[in-house]
């Protein structure tokens, strides 16, 4: 299962994993999500991470799950003094609480498969990025949850992926906030990050990759 599967990195993750996995693409219903699913014969799962109370009913049919990739996320460019409480609530609701809620609901299915939980984190989850106050805080929290899950669920593999800046629509918004011209060649491609993530997922079963840090050259 890949959350945020309609976006740039989500779509790239689907492409990287389609040869080896049956895909369950999770996200808010949209033509973009349907289009990604259509390319790979995948199933869509209508999950809104901002509504954690609705998650249980959606994933209840799943009794076994090999891989859960937390890719969905939001970011509101802004330094601390520029940020609003509503932005902080929204960021934490999707990036942290939604991810926790989905993981908790899927724990029985993941345990049954001795599965793998992957968190697409960020370089901001290791060192806060200027102009991304609420986003950086949410990624630190997500990293803490991943570490706790790894400690508490020894039958699972848990990996945090910390890419540098990726050439996506979210990146365009951040560059616009910074007042610079957007040049995608300055950033990692979504396909590169997806392939690195797929390598961690497809690693031999006796390998447990805790953390992956990827930076543009």
Q: Is the dihedral angle over the CA atoms 201, 95, 37, 10 positive or is it negative? A: negative
Q: Are strands 211-214 and 116-120 parallel, antiparallel or unpaired?
A: unpaired
Burial (Cβ within 10 Å: 0-12, 13-18, ≥19) of residue 25: buried
Catalytic residue among 40, 76, 135, 177: 135
The pairs formed by 140-146 with CB atoms below 8 angstroms and a separation of 24 or more are: 141/92, 141/95, 141/96, 142/70, 142/95, 142/96, 142/99, 143/119, 145/96, 145/99, 145/100, 145/103, 145/119, 146/117, 146/119, 146/121
Q: Which of 91, 89, 90, 98 is nearest to 70 (CA)?
A: 98
For residue 63, give both structure tokens: 């009794």
Question: 135 an active-site residue?
Answer: yes
* Residues designated catalytic: 135
């Amino acid at each position: 299962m890949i959350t945020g599967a309609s976006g740039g990195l989500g779509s790239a993750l689907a492409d990287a994993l389609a040869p080896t996995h049956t895909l369950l693409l999770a996200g808010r219903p949209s033509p973009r999500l349907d289009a990604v699913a259509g390319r790979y014969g995948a199933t869509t799962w209508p999950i809104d991470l901002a509504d954690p109370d609705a998650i249980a009913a959606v994933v209840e049919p799943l009794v076994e799950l090999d891989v859960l990739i937390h890719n969905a996320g939001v970011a509101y460019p802004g330094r601390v003094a520029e940020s609003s409480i509503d932005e902080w609530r929204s960021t934490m609701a999707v990036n942290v609480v939604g991810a926790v809620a989905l993981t908790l609901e899927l724990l029985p299915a993941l345990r049954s498969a001795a599965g793998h939980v992957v968190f697409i984190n960020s370089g901001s989850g290791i060192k806060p990025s200027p102009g991304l106050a609420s986003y950086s805080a949410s990624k630190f929290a997500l990293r803490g949850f991943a570490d706790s899950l790894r400690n508490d669920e020894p039958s699972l593999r848990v990996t945090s992926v910390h890419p540098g800046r990726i050439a996506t629509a979210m990146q365009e918004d951040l560059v616009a906030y910074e007042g610079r011209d957007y040049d995608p060649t300055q950033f990692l491609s979504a396909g590169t990050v997806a392939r690195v993530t797929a390598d961690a997922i497809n690693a031999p079963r006796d390998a447990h990759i805790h953390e992956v840090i990827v930076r543009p050259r």
